[in-house]
């Protein structure tokens, strides 16, 4: 069986990377940009850092910012109509996972209108055409949506999130500029950072992991575990530093890996929590990460021992089993150091059957290295019950 790897055609990294956007648009002859972002980023002037550059280059643009934190089917459909009305020929998406996931779906449907219902994109989508040319500019260090072939949409009527996997949706250009992440408050820095760590650890232990993905995930674990505390402190103080830069790169490197090999039960459970209780995705992932690691430990002990090494744990003299436990302890300590909650508000016993069913139906679950049944998943959810 062949292992497939899909990455951006081009990515720019480092301070000032956004200055490359206008040139990327102009050299391809695009006439008008469709800016897909969220209202808060417009309000606080983050989006303007990019649109000012377009103005200076004489590139017209249209704005779509009606995006919820967990984007819905209607968000996407409204965005498709706005894109058509704008007469744009290139998408520039600015924001976290919500903005980029919405932009991916818009770009896919614009070129594959038979999927306009959005729900038919769930799972491995059989689209024929690549999405509208897209430049992705993340403003959070966590989702890595700018380099993945996945996006997640919420169906409010069915109270569920669904994952779409499509090689045609990956943005053509990724702009990883830590200055675009400077406005993240401390809580969001922590949550998105732990989401990135979850990507890296789940990607390292998923069923599909292999040498090439291991290379990315091991380095991502090093970068994220070594940078998140500093990035969190920088967000609290408002002072610049190397933490944000390390997180910007680390989350992208994690995305290069997990996009191609999958995740596991942590993300399946986290998607379910967000759909039912609107729990921020990164917070859900962080609360569940040590629990999922503990559950999977019997079948990935060696890999978790290697995670401990990547996180900087001195494992000299430890058995493999002890080193795996040390990795779980290190994740718990990191979560505590950046003030991630340990329990989920609203989670109650009577919801567990529905939560377990949705988890086992989630597209991320099959990648988990250890099988789980309905009752097992309920027990895992109980561990984060208040």
pLDDT at 29 exceeding the cut of 80: yes
Whether 362 and 235 share a structural domain? yes
Q: What is the pLDDT of residues 76-123, one digit of tens each?
A: 999 999 999 999 999 999 999 999 999 999 999 999 999 999 999 999
CATH (domain of 246): 1.20.1090.10
pLDDT of residue 74: 95
Side-chain-facing half-sphere of 25: CA atoms under 13 Å:
31
Query: In the chain, what are the helix, strand and coil shares in percent, each to the nearest 5?
Result: 60, 10, 30
The verdict on residue 2 lying in a domain is: no
Q: What is the pLDDT of residues 301-352, one digit of tens each?
A: 999 999 999 999 999 999 999 999 999 999 999 999 999 999 999 999 999 9
Task: Select from 180, 205, 240 the last residue of a domain.
Answer: 180
In DSSP notation, 213-265 reads: HHHHHHHHHHHHHHHHHHHHHHHHHT---HHHHHHHHHHHHHHHHHHHH---H
By C-alpha distance, which of 4, 24, 3, 2 is closest to 12? 24
Residues recorded for the chain? 386
pLDDT of residue 294: 98
Task: Select from 150, 180, 210 the last residue of a domain.
Answer: 180
Domain that holds residue 161: 10-180
pLDDT of residue 386: 84
288 and 266 Cβ atoms separated by less than 8 Å: yes
> Using 50, 70 and 90 to split pLDDT, how confident is the model at 241?
confident
Element (H, E) at 91: strand 90-95
Report the percent of the chain where pLDDT is more than 90.
95
pLDDT at 1 exceeding the cut of 80: no
For residue 36, how many other CB atoms are within 10 A of its CB?
32
Q: Mean pLDDT over residues 261-272, rounded? A: 97
Domains contained in the chain, number: 2
Whether 67 and 174 share a structural domain? yes
169 and 107 Cβ atoms separated by less than 8 Å: yes
Q: Each residue of 39-74: b (16+ CB within 10 Å) or e? A: eebbeeebbebbbebbeeeebebebbbebeebbbbe
pLDDT at 230 exceeding the cut of 80: yes
Side-chain-facing half-sphere of 337: CA atoms under 13 Å:
17
Whether 147 and 205 share a structural domain? no
Query: In angstroms, rounded to a whole number, what is the distance separating the alpha carbons of residues 196 and 123?
Result: 22
3-class SS at 109? Answer: helix
Q: What is the dihedral of CA 311, 313, 317, 323, to 10 degrees?
A: -50
State the greatest distance between any 2 C-alpha atoms of the chain, in Å, as a whole number: 65
Query: In angstroms, rounded to a whole number, what is the distance separating the alpha carbons of residues 203 and 219?
Result: 12
Whether 106 and 246 share a structural domain? no
Task: Select from 180, 202, 219 the last residue of a domain.
Answer: 180
pLDDT at 240 exceeding the cut of 90: no
Q: What is the pLDDT of residues 127-169, one digit of tens each?
A: 999 999 999 999 999 999 999 999 999 999 988 889 999 999 9
The verdict on residue 118 lying in a domain is: yes
Query: In angstroms, rounded to a whole number, what is the distance separating the alpha carbons of residues 326 and 321?
Result: 9
By C-alpha distance, which of 279, 281, 271, 260 is closest to 191? 281
Q: Mean pLDDT over residues 52-80, rounded? A: 95
Query: In angstroms, rounded to a whole number, what is the distance separating the alpha carbons of residues 248 and 255?
Result: 11
Whether 33 and 76 share a structural domain? yes
> Using 50, 70 and 90 to split pLDDT, how confident is the model at 216?
very high
**Mean pLDDT (the chain, rounded):** 96
pLDDT of residue 114: 97
pLDDT of residue 68: 85
The verdict on residue 5 lying in a domain is: no
Q: Which residues pair with 160 in a beta bridge?
A: 155
Whether 140 and 267 share a structural domain? no
């Amino acid at each position: 069986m062949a292992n497939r790897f899909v990455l951006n055609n081009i990515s720019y990294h480092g301070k000032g990377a956004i200055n490359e956007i206008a040139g990327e648009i102009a050299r391809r002859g695009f006439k008008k940009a469709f800016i897909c972002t969220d209202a808060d980023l417009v309000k606080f002037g983050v989006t303007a850092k990019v649109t000012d550059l377009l103005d200076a280059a004489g590139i017209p643009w249209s704005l779509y910012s009606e995006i919820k934190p967990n984007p819905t089917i209607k968000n996407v459909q409204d965005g498709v109509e706005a894109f058509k009305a704008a007469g744009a020929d290139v998408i520039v998406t600015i924001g976290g996972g919500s903005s980029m996931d919405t932009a991916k779906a818009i770009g896919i449907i614009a070129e594959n209108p038979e999927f306009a219902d959005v729900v038919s994109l769930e799972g491995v989508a059989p689209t024929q055409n690549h999405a509208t040319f897209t430049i992705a500019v993340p403003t959070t260090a966590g989702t890595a949506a700018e380099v993945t072939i996945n996006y997640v949409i919420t169906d409010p009527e069915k109270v569920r999130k669904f994952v779409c996997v499509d090689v045609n949706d990956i943005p053509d250009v990724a702009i990883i500029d830590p200055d675009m992440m400077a406005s993240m408050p401390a809580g969001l820095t922590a949550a998105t950072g732990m989401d990135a760590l979850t990507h890296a650890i789940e990607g390292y232990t998923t069923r599909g992991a292999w040498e090439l993905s291991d290379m990315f995930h091991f380095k991502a674990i090093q970068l994220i575990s070594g940078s998140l505390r500093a990035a969190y402190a920088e967000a609290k103080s408002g002072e610049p530093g190397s933490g944000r830069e390390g997180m910007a790169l680390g989350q992208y490197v994690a995305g290069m890996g997990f996009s191609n090999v999958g995740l596991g039960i942590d993300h399946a459970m986290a998607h379910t929590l967000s759909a039912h209780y609107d729990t921020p995705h990164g917070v859900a992932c962080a609360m569940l990460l040590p629990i999922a690691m503990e559950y999977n430990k019997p079948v990935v002990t060696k890999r978790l021992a290697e995670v401990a090494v990547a996180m900087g744990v001195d494992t000299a003299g430890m058995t493999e089993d002890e080193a795996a436990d040390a990795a779980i302890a290190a994740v718990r300590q990191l979560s505590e150091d950046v003030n991630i909650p340990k329990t989920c508000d609203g989670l109650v016993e009577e919801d567990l059957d529905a939560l377990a069913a949705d988890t086992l139906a989630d597209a991320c679950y099959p990648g988990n290295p250890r099988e789980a049944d309905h009752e097992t998943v309920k027990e895992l959810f109980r561990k984060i019950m208040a």
